[in-house]
Amino acid sequence: MTEQRHTDAGPGSTAVIRAWDELVATARRTVADGLVVGTSGNVSVRVAGTVLVTPSGVPYDELTPADVLGVGLDGARLFGTLTPTSELPMHLAIYRATDARAVVHTHAVHATAVSTLVPELPAVHYMTAALGGTVRVAPYALYGTDELAENMLHALRDRNACLLQNHGTVVHGDTLAQAFERTAQLEWMCRLWLTATSVPGHTPHILSAAQVRETGEKLKGYGQRS
């Protein structure tokens, strides 16, 4: 039996078991909600110093608890036998550079379309504030490369979401639920912008930076209080 590297979040720990179950459920939801076709996206979640990540080329509905896959922040395998997603460099770059606990990457159709048209998604809706501001487009680079990861980090500066040119979306959050919700919100805003710009003879009204900041302040008090 191959000796496994020490980790404070082993494959049998309650935290890892729960996180893997949630990761698989989130990955399946990206397909069910039309954000991913087949195995084209990937999802990860950080548990202490371990990053759980979807494997490469495996349909999400086939994943089981026995397929749990964990790597360190350096990319070294900690446990699991499947090959990690080819986009692992992007996920690890985010965890090393931010306080993110979860990352969702998709090839959502409207967001990908926008990534081919503009350098950033204009503030067409006030929920732009929930993503940290106007969503930038990272310049194209071959998938799975350090170059793509670097381009992505520049686009994510002071943001929690970005578009990858001719590729898709990358969104991070404090939880998988938050990362998924932000991904869905980004896809909806891209669809909204494409719809608005398709009306002949009209130009969509774009919110100012001040208006986006105002919304950001108000969103801090949004939701229920315990």
- Positions marked catalytic: 87
Query: Which residues are registered as beta bridge partners of 120?
Result: 136
Look at the alpha carbons of 18, 19, 24, 25 in this order and tell me if their dihedral is positive or negative. positive
Residue indicated by tokens 């989130």: 26
Three-state SS at 129:
helix
The first and second tokens of residue 185, run together, are 């919100």
What are the CB-based long-range contacts (under 8 Å, 24+) for 85-88? 85/42, 85/44, 85/53, 85/54, 85/55, 85/56, 86/56, 86/143, 86/144, 87/42, 87/143, 87/144, 88/53, 88/144
User: Side-chain half-sphere of 14: how many Cα atoms within 13 Å?
Assistant: 0
The string of DSSP codes covering 4-72 is: PPP-SS-TTSHHHHHHHHHHHHHHHHHHHTTS-STT--EEEEEETTEEEEPBTT--GGG--GGG--EEE
> In 85-166, where does DSSP find H-type helix?
88-97, 109-115, 146-155
